[in-house]
Amino acid sequence: MSNALSRLGRRKFLSGAAAIAATSSISFLGLQRWLGDRATAATRLTDVIPFLGLHQPGITTPDVAAALVVALDVTARSRAELDQLFKTLTQRIEYLMSGGTLPPLDAKYPPSGSGILGDRFPADHLTVTVSVGASLFDERYGLESLRPAHLKQMPKFPNDRLDPDFCHGDLLLQFCANHNETNIHALRDIIKQLSGLVVLRWQIAGFQQPDSDPHPHRTTVRNLLGFKDGTANPNPHNTKEMNQLVWVQPKQNEPAWAVGGTYHVVRVVRMFVEFWDRTALDEQEEIIGRSRVTGAPLGYKHEEDMPNYGKDPNGKTIRLDAHIRLANPRTPATEASRILRKGFHYSRGIDKAGQLDMGLLFIAFQQDVERGFETIQNRLNGEPLEEYIKPIGGGYFFTLPGVQKKNEYLAQSLLQSADSINRS
Amino acid sequence: MNSKTKIWVGVGAYLLTSAVPTVEISRPSSTNDTLQVSAKLMPNAIAQTPDPCRKGLGGEGGEGGEGGEGGGDDAYLTPTLNPAVQAAELEQAVTAYKAYVVKEVDRLLVDAKVFTDRVIAGDVAGAKAVYGSSRLGWERIEPIAESFAEFDGVIDLRVDDFKGEDDPEFTGFHRIEMGLFKYNTTKGYEPFAKKLMQDLQGLKTCVAALEIEPRDMVRGASELIEEVAQGKITGEEDRYSRMDFWSFKANVEGSEKIVELIRPMIMRINPALLRQIDQDFAAVNQMLAKYSLPEGGFMTYDKLTPTDKRRLQADLARLAESLSKLRGVIGV
């Protein structure tokens, strides 16, 4: 095989690219700053994301700077308490997402909210997205026969080292807003209102500089490995594409209540950033398959360029096991496995080895978790990037369909289906 | 007049809320004999804290003259009772609670004496057998007992609050618990046993002189449950003996006692809240019963299953939410 040779050749190419990058880095940073300012102007404290809709908010909603993912276990003692849980949850989310004023109470009572955003709290682009885990469909609430067809406990993939205290859950709440405080304000409100009905299982906060590039196949977002991430994401504003890839449709062998929902995958992927930062640039780029500076696929000029793998069958330009090539081989056969990604960074201290504990809070939505994330992950198994990353937590969930009318509530279609089954 | 001492129970927990006024106090040295004895063991501690009945951070020690009923700084704290509550019935409840606290401290001294005598006599098995029961009085009135900074620091702190296992300042129940259950010995722990009894005696003196405010009593009900929800549930309290369920149960009983004393008032004002409180107390007690032993006492805490722990967490959280409304309900 000529792999070693081709690598040598590419090294030469890469060193050239690095030199170009060095000379253009100032203007690039300048551009990024300009785009960053534009993004700040675009998302304001007063921004209200509508709660009602065919689908829940927080999926195709434009990305924001702060995320908080919280897994809960449900401790409701009965079906009646489970109904109460979803009704209360729906009311609180609607209230929190629209911004408002904390009702004043007699000072001898605990205040009606945490007050961390003041008595008048802004909407701040908040979305709270509610998903259910496979464990909610066990014998406790009579929902066994209504489990979405592909919903199961997230399996362990070969490179995973899953911490059991950081996986799965009956419920998942995904908070996204312009500011961390907004997410925490919402979480504290919800936890207080749901006391007795849920307990916290795990949580993780994420952050990112939202994508400010209007071009659909370009992004300003980089992961903590320094590479552009999400370039090849499907377009969330393309309804047709979303209906093909993300939203569960009628007649897909799913329970009727699940139509309009989507499979929600969360993966906490630790990155060994010190090791990565000690890795030569050409190796980094080979592992990913893109230029670090421009984001262009190796051998191409622009980030949005579509790599033609047909012309590179042996991986001379982009290695066969490069991350981007495995993740999205760009063949008609692999089109259906595409997923809608929402990535955030996390950083949470120092591990036992004295290294930085940071990485990717990977979030993905898809119509079918097996056809989507699992297919992609199975292609990625064994990729060279695995030396630098370690998935440690997360889970598979199903995002409930949206609430379409005032006074309806999340999971209503699921719970009512259960009632009609139990009656018959 | 010492008996006019006033406290804010467990104000430490409220430090961050700034709702409780902090009063700097400086008070002439006490002449309490018991504490003179303990001063020999902990000269530094006693030198820094001249008042043995001093309250915890943010609290108010000193003599009754400071502030007083409805006066000065804390005028805004003046009770505005719910109209459905008679001042006299509330006063009666407080008097009954004071009697309960005194009785529990008396009981604590009796039980702890049995325990410390066995430690001093070198009876490891005998001391182990009564460790769990020796602390019940303390745990039932924990917010009151803990409010005396001097005594909480020497009676009930965990090793984590000190430099390490050998830190001479690490004293009290848990130091002896460590000797008994981790090192299976009483040797060298005799002085700690003696000191514990002296400190408990000091606590008794302070409790006798204590005037309990209605608000502190009512708040105590939720504080006892917060204590369980935040600490006991983790199993950090009795880590060597694994007798956490004993302390757990005693905290719950202490809280139930307060609810019992103000029950008619809650019933009148918010019966739905009382139903929820009763339901959650019952659920917690049912779970504790599951881990109790036929001969009395409880299984070790490591027997608690993850599912039951989640159940307890949920019920305690809801109970704490309900109890946090009691001050508002009564209007104190």
What would the mean pLDDT of A380-395 be, rounded to a whole number? 97
Tell which A residues from 93 to 122 touch B, by Cβ distance under 8 Å: 105-106, 108-110
| Confidence at B57, pLDDT banded by 50, 70, 90 | low
Tens-place pLDDT, residues A210-231: 888 888 788 888 999 999 987 7
Q: What percent of chain A has pLDDT over 90?
A: 81
**What is the C-alpha end-to-end distance of chain A, expressed in Å?**
66
**Quick one: pLDDT band at residue B32, thresholds 50, 70, 90?**
very low
Q: Phi first, then psi: give them for residue A268, nearest 5 degrees.
A: -95, 110
Residue B107 in domain: yes
Give the model's pLDDT for residue B312: 96
Least confident span in A68-77, A133-142, A278-287, B11-20: B11-20
Kindly tell me if the per-residue pLDDT of B6 is higher than 90: no
**Residue B169 maps to a domain:** yes
Residue B77: predicted pLDDT: 47
- pLDDT at residue A29 greater than cutoff 50: no
Tokens linked to A2:
């000529």
Q: Residue A74 phi/psi, 5° resolution?
A: -90, 130
Assign A43 a pLDDT band (cuts: 50, 70, 90).
low
In a domain, B222, yes or no: yes
ipTM surpasses 0.85 = no
DSSP E strands, A184-336: 198-207, 262-271
Residue B64 has pLDDT above 90, yes or no: no
B31 is in which domain, residue-wise? 2-66+84-330
Q: How far is A105 from chain B (nearest CA, A)?
A: 9
CA distance A402 to A410: 7
Task: Check CB contact under 8 Å for A109 and B320.
Answer: no
Contacts of B320 in chain A (CB under 8 A): 195
- Å from A258 to nearest chain B CA? 29
Residue A372: domain span: 3-423
Q: B156 in a domain, yes or no?
A: yes
pLDDT tier for residue A233 given thresholds of 50, 70 and 90: confident
**Per-residue confidence at A385, pLDDT binned at 50, 70, 90?**
very high
The total of structural domains in chain B comes to 1
Residue B14: pLDDT band with limits 50, 70, 90? very low
Q: Which residues of A touch B321 (CB under 8 A)?
A: 192, 195-196
Lowest mean pLDDT among A86-95, A227-236, B209-218: A227-236
- The total of structural domains in chain A comes to 1
- Do the bridges between strand A127-133 and strand A171-177 make them parallel or antiparallel, or are there none, so unpaired? antiparallel
Chain A residue with minimum CA distance to B310: A199
Would the pLDDT of B160 be above 50? yes
Q: Is the Cβ–Cβ distance between A265 and A362 less than 8 Å?
A: yes
pLDDT band at B48 (very low <50, low <70, confident <90, very high): low
Q: Is residue B10 part of a domain?
A: yes
Structure-block tokens of residue A334:
């692999």
Instruction: Give residue-wise pLDDT tens across range A2-14.
Output: 444 344 343 333 3
Taking the Cβ of residue B328 and every Cβ of chain A, the question of whether any pair is shorter than 8 Å is answered with yes
Q: Residue A186: is its pLDDT beyond 70?
A: yes
> What gap in Å lies between CA A347 and CA A207, rounded to an integer?
9
pLDDT at A22 over 90: no
Let me know if residue B141 belongs to a domain: yes
Q: Is residue B52 part of a domain?
A: yes
Residues B262-302 pLDDT 10s:
999 999 999 999 999 999 999 999 999 999 999 999 999 99
Residue B190 pLDDT class (50, 70, 90 cuts): very high
Q: How much of chain B exceeds pLDDT 90, in percent?
A: 73
Instruction: Give, in order, the Cα–Cα distances in Å from A410 to each of A82, A83, A87.
Output: 11, 9, 7
Nearest CA in chain A to B308: A75
Structure tokens at B229: 């929800």
Q: At B208, which CATH number?
A: 1.20.1420.20
